[in-house]
Homo-oligomer: A and B are copies of this chain.
Amino acid sequence: MNNTIETMLNHRSIRQYTDQPIEKEQLDTIIQAGLAASSSSMLQVVSIVRVTDKNKRKLLAEYAGNQVYVEKATEFLVFCIDYQRHAAINPEVQADFTELTLIGAVDSGIMAQNCLLAAESMGLGGVYIGGLRNKIEQVDELLELPQNTSVLFGMCLGYPAQDPEVKPRLPAHVIMHENQYQPLNIDDIKDYDQVVHDYYASRSNNQKQSNWSEQVTGQLSKESRPHVLPYLNKKGLTKR
Contacts and interface: CB of A to CB of B under 8 A. Distances in A.
Contact of A43 (B184, B216, B226): B216
A201 interface: no
A92 interface: yes
Interface in A178-201: 178-181, 183-184, 186, 189
Given A28-B172, A109-B107, A93 B220 contact: yes
Contact of A232 (B42, B53, B98, B186): B98
A42 B107 contact: no
Interface in A199-240: 212-213, 215-217, 219-226, 228-229, 232, 238, 240
Nearest to A109: B109
Given A97-B223, A108-B109, A169 B35 contact: yes
User: Interface residues of A toward B: which range?
Assistant: 35 or more
B128 A42 contact: no
Nearest to A53: B179
A68 interface: no
A117 B4 contact: yes
Contacts of A70: none
A29 interface: yes
Given A93-B220, A145-B181, A220-B95, A4 B1 contact: no
A143 B7 contact: no
Contact of A48 (B90, B110, B175): B175
A118 interface: yes
A98 B143 contact: no
A224 B99 contact: yes
Nearest to A43: B216
Contacts of A167: 42
B184 A84 contact: yes
A1 B28 contact: no
The 3 A-B residue pairs with the shortest CB-CB distance, nearest first, are A109-B109, A105-B105, A4-B121
